[in-house]
Amino acid sequence: MNQKQGKLIVFSAPSGSGKTTIVRYLLEEKELNLDFSISATSREKRGKETQGKDYHFISADEFKNHIKNNDFVEWEEVYHNNFYGTLRSEIERIWNDGKDVIFDIDVVGGLRIKRKFPNQTLAVFVQPPSIEEMEKRLRNRKTDTEEKIIERVRKAERELQYASEFDIILVNDDLNEAKRKALDLVGNFIRK
Protein backbone atom coordinates (compact mmCIF):
# COMPACT_ATOMS: atom_id res chain seq x y z
CA MET A 1 0.00 0.00 0.00
CA ASN A 2 2.13 2.84 -1.30
CA GLN A 3 -0.48 5.47 -2.10
CA LYS A 4 -1.70 8.14 0.31
CA GLN A 5 -3.28 6.41 3.24
CA GLY A 6 -6.54 7.64 4.65
CA LYS A 7 -8.47 6.79 7.79
CA LEU A 8 -10.07 3.48 8.67
CA ILE A 9 -13.36 3.39 10.57
CA VAL A 10 -14.14 -0.05 12.02
CA PHE A 11 -17.60 -1.01 13.26
CA SER A 12 -17.71 -4.44 14.88
CA ALA A 13 -20.37 -6.14 16.95
CA PRO A 14 -22.17 -9.37 17.54
CA SER A 15 -24.84 -10.18 14.94
CA GLY A 16 -28.08 -8.34 15.71
CA SER A 17 -26.45 -5.35 17.41
CA GLY A 18 -27.37 -2.85 14.70
CA LYS A 19 -23.89 -2.17 13.32
CA THR A 20 -24.92 -2.63 9.68
CA THR A 21 -27.79 -0.15 10.07
CA ILE A 22 -25.42 2.39 11.65
CA VAL A 23 -22.77 1.90 8.95
CA ARG A 24 -25.36 2.37 6.18
CA TYR A 25 -26.52 5.59 7.86
CA LEU A 26 -22.94 6.93 8.01
CA LEU A 27 -22.36 6.09 4.34
CA GLU A 28 -25.34 8.32 3.45
CA GLU A 29 -23.70 11.28 5.22
CA LYS A 30 -21.81 12.67 2.20
CA GLU A 31 -19.72 15.16 4.21
CA LEU A 32 -17.91 12.22 5.85
CA ASN A 33 -16.56 11.13 2.43
CA LEU A 34 -16.64 7.43 3.35
CA ASP A 35 -16.73 4.34 1.20
CA PHE A 36 -17.63 0.85 2.31
CA SER A 37 -15.01 -1.88 2.43
CA ILE A 38 -16.72 -4.86 0.86
CA SER A 39 -15.59 -7.97 2.72
CA ALA A 40 -14.92 -11.27 1.03
CA THR A 41 -16.74 -14.31 2.38
CA SER A 42 -17.08 -17.97 1.60
CA ARG A 43 -20.58 -18.21 3.06
CA GLU A 44 -23.76 -18.37 0.99
CA LYS A 45 -25.77 -15.24 0.19
CA ARG A 46 -28.58 -14.37 2.63
CA GLY A 47 -31.81 -12.67 1.66
CA LYS A 48 -31.31 -9.97 -0.97
CA GLU A 49 -27.52 -9.68 -0.64
CA THR A 50 -25.73 -8.77 -3.86
CA GLN A 51 -22.34 -9.91 -5.16
CA GLY A 52 -19.84 -7.02 -5.10
CA LYS A 53 -22.17 -4.77 -3.10
CA ASP A 54 -22.76 -6.56 0.21
CA TYR A 55 -19.86 -9.02 -0.07
CA HIS A 56 -17.44 -10.56 -2.53
CA PHE A 57 -18.87 -14.09 -2.42
CA ILE A 58 -16.14 -16.61 -3.22
CA SER A 59 -15.68 -20.32 -2.59
CA ALA A 60 -13.76 -21.60 0.42
CA ASP A 61 -11.03 -22.82 -1.98
CA GLU A 62 -10.72 -19.37 -3.59
CA PHE A 63 -10.57 -17.82 -0.14
CA LYS A 64 -7.76 -20.16 0.89
CA ASN A 65 -5.83 -19.24 -2.29
CA HIS A 66 -6.12 -15.53 -1.38
CA ILE A 67 -4.78 -16.38 2.09
CA LYS A 68 -1.79 -18.17 0.55
CA ASN A 69 -1.15 -15.15 -1.70
CA ASN A 70 -1.27 -12.74 1.29
CA ASP A 71 -4.10 -10.79 -0.38
CA PHE A 72 -5.91 -10.07 2.90
CA VAL A 73 -5.28 -7.32 5.44
CA GLU A 74 -7.21 -9.52 7.86
CA TRP A 75 -9.24 -12.69 7.66
CA GLU A 76 -10.96 -15.08 10.00
CA GLU A 77 -12.60 -18.48 9.84
CA VAL A 78 -15.71 -17.35 11.70
CA TYR A 79 -17.52 -20.68 11.51
CA HIS A 80 -16.23 -23.96 10.08
CA ASN A 81 -15.19 -23.37 6.43
CA ASN A 82 -17.00 -20.03 6.61
CA PHE A 83 -14.38 -17.34 6.04
CA TYR A 84 -14.58 -13.54 6.11
CA GLY A 85 -11.79 -11.15 5.25
CA THR A 86 -10.71 -7.75 3.99
CA LEU A 87 -8.87 -7.75 0.70
CA ARG A 88 -5.94 -5.34 0.53
CA SER A 89 -7.26 -4.25 -2.89
CA GLU A 90 -10.51 -2.97 -1.27
CA ILE A 91 -8.65 -0.53 0.98
CA GLU A 92 -6.40 0.57 -1.88
CA ARG A 93 -9.44 1.15 -4.13
CA ILE A 94 -11.09 3.45 -1.59
CA TRP A 95 -7.93 5.36 -0.67
CA ASN A 96 -7.16 5.84 -4.37
CA ASP A 97 -10.59 7.49 -4.68
CA GLY A 98 -9.56 9.95 -1.93
CA LYS A 99 -12.02 8.58 0.61
CA ASP A 100 -11.78 7.08 4.08
CA VAL A 101 -12.73 3.44 4.60
CA ILE A 102 -15.60 2.23 6.76
CA PHE A 103 -15.85 -1.42 7.78
CA ASP A 104 -18.73 -3.54 9.05
CA ILE A 105 -16.77 -6.58 10.20
CA ASP A 106 -16.32 -9.35 12.72
CA VAL A 107 -14.93 -8.42 16.14
CA VAL A 108 -11.66 -10.31 15.66
CA GLY A 109 -11.15 -8.79 12.20
CA GLY A 110 -11.85 -5.31 13.53
CA LEU A 111 -9.19 -5.68 16.20
CA ARG A 112 -6.70 -6.98 13.64
CA ILE A 113 -7.18 -3.87 11.51
CA LYS A 114 -6.77 -1.68 14.61
CA ARG A 115 -3.51 -3.44 15.47
CA LYS A 116 -2.20 -3.23 11.89
CA PHE A 117 -3.09 0.48 11.47
CA PRO A 118 -3.23 1.77 15.08
CA ASN A 119 -3.00 5.50 14.37
CA GLN A 120 -5.30 5.53 11.35
CA THR A 121 -8.12 3.46 12.82
CA LEU A 122 -11.16 4.31 14.92
CA ALA A 123 -12.50 1.01 16.26
CA VAL A 124 -16.12 1.12 17.47
CA PHE A 125 -17.79 -1.80 19.22
CA VAL A 126 -21.58 -1.65 18.85
CA GLN A 127 -23.08 -3.35 21.88
CA PRO A 128 -26.67 -4.55 22.09
CA PRO A 129 -28.56 -3.54 25.25
CA SER A 130 -28.65 -7.24 26.23
CA ILE A 131 -28.11 -10.72 24.81
CA GLU A 132 -31.88 -11.26 25.03
CA GLU A 133 -32.59 -8.17 22.91
CA MET A 134 -29.94 -9.22 20.39
CA GLU A 135 -31.51 -12.68 20.10
CA LYS A 136 -34.92 -11.08 19.56
CA ARG A 137 -33.48 -8.91 16.75
CA LEU A 138 -31.93 -11.98 15.10
CA ARG A 139 -35.26 -13.80 15.21
CA ASN A 140 -37.09 -10.78 13.77
CA ARG A 141 -34.72 -10.73 10.76
CA LYS A 142 -36.03 -14.17 9.77
CA THR A 143 -32.83 -14.94 7.83
CA ASP A 144 -31.33 -17.69 10.00
CA THR A 145 -32.27 -21.18 11.15
CA GLU A 146 -32.81 -21.87 14.85
CA GLU A 147 -29.45 -23.64 14.93
CA LYS A 148 -27.71 -20.61 13.40
CA ILE A 149 -29.39 -18.22 15.88
CA ILE A 150 -28.16 -20.32 18.82
CA GLU A 151 -24.68 -20.36 17.29
CA ARG A 152 -24.73 -16.56 16.86
CA VAL A 153 -25.89 -16.01 20.46
CA ARG A 154 -23.07 -18.20 21.81
CA LYS A 155 -20.58 -16.35 19.62
CA ALA A 156 -21.96 -12.99 20.82
CA GLU A 157 -21.33 -13.97 24.44
CA ARG A 158 -17.65 -14.51 23.54
CA GLU A 159 -17.42 -11.35 21.41
CA LEU A 160 -18.73 -9.14 24.20
CA GLN A 161 -15.56 -9.97 26.13
CA TYR A 162 -13.53 -8.05 23.50
CA ALA A 163 -15.52 -4.81 23.79
CA SER A 164 -12.99 -3.10 26.07
CA GLU A 165 -10.23 -3.54 23.43
CA PHE A 166 -12.05 -1.13 21.08
CA ASP A 167 -11.61 2.65 21.16
CA ILE A 168 -15.32 3.20 21.79
CA ILE A 169 -18.21 1.07 23.05
CA LEU A 170 -21.43 2.35 21.50
CA VAL A 171 -24.47 0.84 23.24
CA ASN A 172 -27.36 0.59 20.78
CA ASP A 173 -30.42 0.72 22.98
CA ASP A 174 -31.95 3.57 20.93
CA LEU A 175 -31.09 3.39 17.21
CA ASN A 176 -31.54 7.11 16.46
CA GLU A 177 -29.35 8.07 19.41
CA ALA A 178 -26.72 5.47 18.40
CA LYS A 179 -26.68 6.91 14.85
CA ARG A 180 -26.22 10.45 16.18
CA LYS A 181 -23.36 9.40 18.46
CA ALA A 182 -21.70 7.44 15.64
CA LEU A 183 -21.91 10.47 13.35
CA ASP A 184 -20.22 12.67 15.98
CA LEU A 185 -17.52 10.09 16.71
CA VAL A 186 -16.64 9.48 13.08
CA GLY A 187 -16.81 13.15 12.10
CA ASN A 188 -14.46 14.13 14.92
CA PHE A 189 -12.02 11.33 14.10
CA ILE A 190 -11.85 12.19 10.40
CA ARG A 191 -11.23 15.87 11.13
CA LYS A 192 -8.29 15.10 13.49
Domain contains 125: yes
Integer Cα distance of 192 and 181 in angstroms: 17
> Which of 189, 182, 138 minimizes the C-alpha distance to 28?
182
Specify the number of domains making up the chain: 1
Domain contains 95: yes
Please compute Rg for the chain using Cα positions.
16
Domain with residue 13: its CATH number is 3.40.50.300
Domain contains 2: no
Domain contains 3: no
Question: Cα dihedral sign for 91, 11, 48, 61?
Answer: positive
Q: What is the pLDDT of residue 9?
A: 98
Q: What is the pLDDT of residue 169?
A: 96
Domain contains 1: no
Q: What is the pLDDT of residue 4?
A: 63
Domain contains 85: yes
Q: Which residues of the chain have pLDDT under 70?
A: 1-4
Domain contains 44: yes
pTM: 0.85
Q: Are 53 and 38 in contact (CB under 8 A)?
A: yes
Query: What counts of helices (H) and strands (E) characterise the chain?
Result: 7, 9
Which residue range(s) make up the domain with 123?
8-191
